[in-house]
Structure 1
Amino acid sequence: MTSRLKRLKILLRNALRGAHVLAFLPALVLGSFWLGGEDLLLFVALGVPVVFALAGGFELPASMDAFLSRPTDLTDSQGAIVLADTALIRARAESMSTACILIDIDGIEALEARFGDSAAQATRDLVLSRLRALLRRDDLIVRIGDARLMVLLAPELRLDLETLLQISGRIQGAVEEPALIEETTQYLTAAIGFCSSTRLSDNAPGEDLFAAAGAALNEALANGPSAIRAWTDSIRAARTARRSLRSEAARALENGQIQPWYQPQLCTSTGRVSGVEALARWVHPERGVIAPQQFLITLEEDGRMQRLGEVMLSHALTELRGWDLAGIKVPRVSINFSTSELRNPKLVETLKWEIDRHELTPQRLGIEVLETVIAETTDGIIVRNIADLSKLGCFIDLDDFGTGHASINSLRRFAINRLKIDRSFVTRIDRDEGQRRMIAAILSMADRLGLETLGEGVESVGEHALLAQLGCDQVQGFGIARPMPAEKLSTWIKIHNARIADTPRLGRRSN
């Protein structure tokens, strides 16, 4: 009954939308007097305001003052939905359009890890001030969480796709403009998703507008750190498809559709392959390659990460042995281990059995552990497993180094072999002196501790070359090669080795 009343109230509100409806009250009263005398006059004069009030016509959403005076910078999802509802009501009352723009900023977490909370907050404040200077006075911008912003545009007659793309591009440019934080230049990236009210039904609530912009943002995030996407019917279809994927993920894991793809790691001294990282990919028979962010969360929520680890390990060791037999030199294959896998009391025993079964040595297997796990864990099983894997001879990688506050003592405690330097430190080092100094400090510390280093997320020749000059041992990233299936990796290595062999070396004389 409550839901029916709520729907009725919404219908009445839409029918009587806007206080301007009361302007017709005198005409209604006069007309009722001529048609029905005093009785009908009293009924209309008293009844219409009552119905209008019951429909919520006199009520302004709690957040309407957001359009009259600035609200607090921070809100949550529910608050954002209320604000979106307010924007829709106002736009419809004026027979205009509005739009919701969601912005996800990458780089703030790394700043917080490097410089602390105050630097991260200063960056958020700087971004907000930039965007408020860019937007119109009646446009609304608020934070939703630590690294996400929402913009609600004031009513406009024309908010077509081209206009919204231009606005989003200007917003992205303002966010990504270099910022001086803690006396060093910092770079952020912004993914943006937006939806115009014209893309929704006439009676759609703010929740639908907010959800549509969120779906567009998710699509942007899946396509790169600086992508912009609009809500479209294809995204609606993709959301439906993703929901169906959840039910398929478990079956895909068991029937062999989820397998490792491999990304090469290169030695900066020789240029040769020093190892590969195994990354989970789902090759769907109808939808093609499905990005890991679309299925890993599902597997984790379903408690299947250990099973995924078993599948990845079995495939990786089988393929490593196959490369050996084919004469293709791959010194090591590295596998990411989740926290749930590291808690498995039989982990070391299982790995030893698998390595022996494939006639390999433990040194050929790399174990990638996130820095946040090392920095935050107090779990005795995790500590013991990592230590025992190191004693067994496995190569221990500390992944995403620089984002988790790992201490020097923890590096010693867990017997780390290599630091994988997070991409936030690597990006633009060939153009930014502050980035170069930071990388140089990390490399110097690693050298003193006797640790190998690998730069992640290398995107350009300049970044690759400068990392080599600074003494980083290895590099990995899209600028070198994207993850690929095992059979394509074999071909890639052969072509890469041939290219190295044909490259002239300093001091070598040609005949």
Structure 2
Amino acid sequence: MSLAARMNMQMLRSCRRTGAGPLAILGPGAFALGGSLGVAALLLAWAAAKAIAPRVALPDFAAGRTKLALRTDVVAALDVALRRGAPTAALVIEIDRFRQIEAEHDRAAIETLLRVTEDRLGQALLGAGTPARLEGPAFAVALEPAGDLDLEAALQMAGRVQRTLSEPVALGDANLQPTLSLGLALPRRLPSPTGEALLRAATVALIEAQRSGPAAIRSYSEAMRARVETRGALVQEVAHAFERGEIRGHFQPQLSARDGTLTGFETLARWQHPIRGLIPPAEFLPAIEQAGQMIRLGEVMLREALTALRDWESQGLHVPRVGVNFSSAELCDPRLLDRIGWELDRFDLTPDRLVVEVLETVVASRSDDMVVRNLAGLARLGCCLDLDDFGTGHASITSIRRLSIERIKIDRSFVTRIDEDPEQQRMVAAILTMADRLGIDTLAEGVETPEERAMLEQLGCGHLQGFGIARPMPFVETIGWIASRGAAEAQVLRRVG
């Protein structure tokens, strides 16, 4: 058996063990060797990612009580349209955050959600397509419109389906407003379109939509396929990368906007690949998440940060504190407080030297669960809490105060060209005023030019971070950077004196 065949069979067994969903979507044709969609990488990327199969079994649907067609019917409908030269496209749909929805509702509610979604899908198509239930919260459609179907028309149909399926669903005493991600594939985007190939291409587009989502729609392209295959290959290498020490922390300095003194560093993950070189975080972080290794990444970054604090002190360099980004997966870990407390004790560091950075989107989407309990526990322990990418989510003032947030980090989208854009100046000024009234410190991310820095200083921002100050650097380079700043500051003081 060839290597490609062995990889495909290994991933088939892995998907069966984990219950992940690509088998139902891709079908047996996906395992043909030499497939144009790089199915081995696609399967691994999907199976290790969001896993569309629900944790609870849904025997009613699996037993064939679904009102919709089967996957094979969608493939057949696409093949018929292609043979006739009729307009068609493949659409693959999945309910977002399905695992979280499962955790919050009982089996009867989950079955209600899936049945309502199934009913609404048929209604949304208005007879212009063949809908099918796939595995878990996933659906497929062979679009069969009466008129022409170019990309714009297909996206309009996909948008109509998405809007219909996103209407609130009554689940017992509560209403749930689901969001859905959609992947779309048109025949002209494939070199040799078949029904099977179209459905697989729509699955690739769905993976990209989920990466951009929630509630995103993406149309398949060959460049998209290449990205998914690359991520699939990286997923396979993640465990070895950790073992070989290829994933390390780089450190980006943060300065006081008032006097330019160093107030800390943020620890940022970097992957130094032996062949590809330095892989951008936008590429490898999704691979780590898909591989289920976010907690391991957090453990590595925490140790890197605390090691750096200890080593700076041993060389007589004072760094007040260091920040570490904590993912949603880590913040859901009931052992998080014990782990951080143990690491701080091991390095003989006080908790106030550690800044826990959490995305605003995480705080906005979690109201009363382990994330909130862990953040409150970290604040009680004495760690500093930073709300990262502020302005990109919808965190309420109540949640900010309840979680004892010490500092908000203004997202770079508000900072770029702030010196030229009066509207951005007004928005940042409003954020700074709010923070000041709440007694919360502020930091502006993505500061790249002297003009941006001057405007932020003028507006009263507390701290600054960005390429205009320094790029993230390996620990060894921070030594020289800190020393050179100290020498420059001493020289200025001597001149002033």
Q: TM-score, normalised by structure 2?
A: 0.59
User: Max radius of gyration: which structure?
Assistant: 1
Superposed, which structure 2 residues align to 1:252-291 within 5 Å?
A: 252-291=241-280
Q: Contact (CA 8 Å) 1:334, 1:367: kept in 2 or not?
A: yes
Inter-partner Cα distance in structure 2 for 1:484 and 1:306: 23
CA offset at residue 298 of structure 1?
Answer: 2.4
Alignment check: 8 A CA contact 2:255 2:464 kept = yes
Give distance in 2, aligned partners of 1:67 and 1:381: 46
Does the 8 Å contact 2:151/2:186 carry over to 1?
A: no
User: In 2 relative to 1, CA 468–81 (structure 1 residues): closer, same or farther, beyond 3 Å?
Assistant: same
Aligned to 2:484: 495
Q: 2:379 aligns with which of 358, 366, 390?
A: 390
Q: Distance in 1 between matches of 2:451 and 2:217?
A: 29
Give the secondary structure class of the aligned counterpart of 1:482.
coil
Q: 1:390 to 1:72 in 2, by over 3 A?
A: closer
In structure 1, C-alpha distance between the alignment counterparts of 2:265 and 2:413, rounded to whole Å: 21
How far off is 1:343 after superposition?
1.5
Q: Which residue of 2 aligns with 1:84?
A: 189
| Partner SS state of residue 309, structure 1 | helix
Q: Which residue of 2 aligns with 1:369?
A: 358
Task: Output the amino acid matched with 2:343.
Answer: E
Cα distance in 1, alignment partners of residues 456 and 230 from structure 2: 41
Counterpart residue identity of residue 373, structure 1: V
**Distance of aligned partners of 1:85 and 1:289 in 2 relative to their CA distance in 1, 3 Å threshold:** closer
Residue in structure 2 matched with residue 438 of structure 1 by the alignment: 427
Q: Which residue of 2 aligns with 1:226?
A: none
Distance 1:66 1:384, change over 3 A: closer
Question: Taking structure 1 as reference, are residues 243 and 361 closer, same or farther at Cα in structure 2, changes over 3 Å only?
Answer: same
| Contact 2:448 2:466 (C-alpha < 8 Å) held by counterparts | yes
1:486 aligned residue: 475
Shift of 1:79: 4.0
Q: Secondary structure of 1:366's partner?
A: strand
Deviations 1:137-157 (A, max 9, x none): xxxxxxx97586x7xxxxxxx
The structural deviation recorded for 1:68 is 12
CA distance in 2, matches of 1:88, 1:302: 31
Tell me whether 1:65 sits opposite 2:148 in the alignment.
yes
Matched to 1:420, the amino acid is K
Name the Cα RMSD after superposition: 3.4
Change beyond 3 A, Cα 1:399–1:81? same
Matched residue SS, 2:461:
coil
Does residue 434 of structure 2 align to residue 329 of structure 1?
no
Deviation of 1:496 after TM superposition, in Å, equals: 2.7
State the one-letter code of the partner of 1:82. Answer: P
| Rounded Cα–Cα distance in structure 2 between residues aligned with 1:74 and 1:287 | 40
Distance 2:81 2:324 in 1: 61
Q: Which amino acid aligns with 2:241?
A: A
Secondary structure, counterpart of 1:56 in structure 2: helix
Letter aligned with residue 446 of structure 2: G
Matched residue, 1:32: none
Using the alignment, how far apart are the partners of 1:424 and 1:314 within structure 2?
A: 30
The offset of 1:344, in angstroms, is 1.6
Mapping 1:463-474, distance limit 5 Å: 463-474=452-463
Does residue 56 (structure 1) correspond to residue 83 (structure 2)? The answer is: yes
C-alpha contact 1:267 1:473 (8 A) present in aligned 2: yes
Count of equivalent residues: 327
Q: 1:68-467 alignment to 2 at 5 Å?
A: 73=156, 75=158, 79-82=184-187, 84=189, 146=216, 210-214=220-224, 242-467=231-456
Task: Using the TM superposition, name which of 70-79 and 406-415 deviates more.
Answer: 70-79
CA distance in 2, matches of 1:314, 1:68: 48
Cα separation, 1, equivalents of 2:151 and 2:361: 43
Shift of 1:254: 2.5
AA partner of residue 486 (structure 2): N
Query: Where does structure 1 lack aligned partners over 5 or more consecutive residues?
Result: 4-52, 90-103, 110-143, 151-209, 219-238
Contact 1:280 1:292 in 2 (8 A): yes
Structure 2's unaligned 5+ residue stretches are 1-27, 30-79, 89-143, 160-181, 195-207
Local SS of the residue matching 2:186 = helix
Deviation digits for residues 287-343 of structure 1, max 9, x if unmatched? 221222322222222322112111111121011100011011211110011111112
Normalising by the residue count of structure 1, what TM-score does the alignment of the two structures yield?
0.58
Give the superposition deviation at 1:362: 0.7
* TM superposition shift of 1:59: 4.3
SS at match of 2:418: coil
How far apart are the structure 1 equivalents of 2:421 and 2:486? 32
Residues 498 and 339 of structure 1: CA distance in aligned 2, closer, same or farther (over 3 Å): same
Query: Structure 1 336/297 Cα, relative in aligned 2: closer, same or farther at 3 Å?
Result: same
Q: Sequence identity of aligned pairs in percent? A: 48
Matches of 2:285 and 2:465, distance apart in 1: 22
Amino acid at match of 1:212: E
Helix, strand or coil: the match of 2:269?
strand
**In the alignment, is the contact (CA less than 8 A) between 1:74 and 1:145 conserved in 2?**
no
